[in-house]
Amino acid sequence: MNSNLHNLLGYAAGSISMISFIPQVYKTWKIKSAKDVSIQMFILYTTSTFLWIIYGFTSNQYAIWIPNTIVLFLSITQVILKIKYDMRDKKEQKLKDNK
User: With 90 as the cut, is the pLDDT of residue 98 above it?
Assistant: no
CB atoms within 10 A of CB 39: 13
User: Where do the domains of the chain lie?
Assistant: 3-98
- Rounded to two decimals, what is the model's pTM? 0.81
The number of C-alpha atoms within 13 Å of 9 and in the hemisphere containing its C-beta is: 6
Is CATH 3.90.550.10 what the domain over 3-98 is classified as, yes or no? no
User: Closest Cα to residue 52, out of 67, 38, 42, 39?
Assistant: 67
Model confidence pLDDT, tens digit, residues 69-93: 999 999 999 999 999 999 999 999 9
Question: What's the rounded Cα separation, in Å, for the pair 86 and 74?
Answer: 18
Angle at CA of residue 84, ends 79 and 87, nearest 5°: 120
